[in-house]
Amino acid sequence: MDEDYVPTPPTQPSGALVPPPKIPGTAVAAATPAPQPAFPHARRTLRRPGVVRRLTERVLDAVDEIADGLALGLGLRHK
């Protein structure tokens, strides 16, 4: 036999050839207040009666004015 031979210890019956499972870390609880709404004033503004309707009318009026100007400029409509 070889003089450098060193016998390895016997394998355990439950021995596995995979790394041990990773145990997840422990969560630490912290007392935090509830989150505030992102834009509380915007929600109140849109809840007022007629705000969305007036805004829509203004936008459509502006688009109508632009379209009328373009039509006059291109000669599609006469005054």
- Residue 1: is its pLDDT beyond 60? no
- Domain residue ranges in the chain: 49-79
d(CA 76, CA 79): 10
Specify the pLDDT at position 68. 93
Who has greater pLDDT, 69 or 11? 69
User: Which carries the bigger pLDDT value, residue 3 or residue 32?
Assistant: 32
pLDDT at 17 over 80: no
pTM: 0.40
CA dihedral 28, 29, 30, 32 (to 10 degrees): 140
**pLDDT tens-place string over residues 19-67:** 777 888 887 777 778 777 776 666 666 667 788 889 999 999 999 999 9
Residue 65 vs residues 59, 69, 70, 73, 77: alpha-carbon distances, Å: 10, 6, 9, 12, 13
- By C-alpha distance, which of 26, 10, 73, 40 is closest to 65? 73
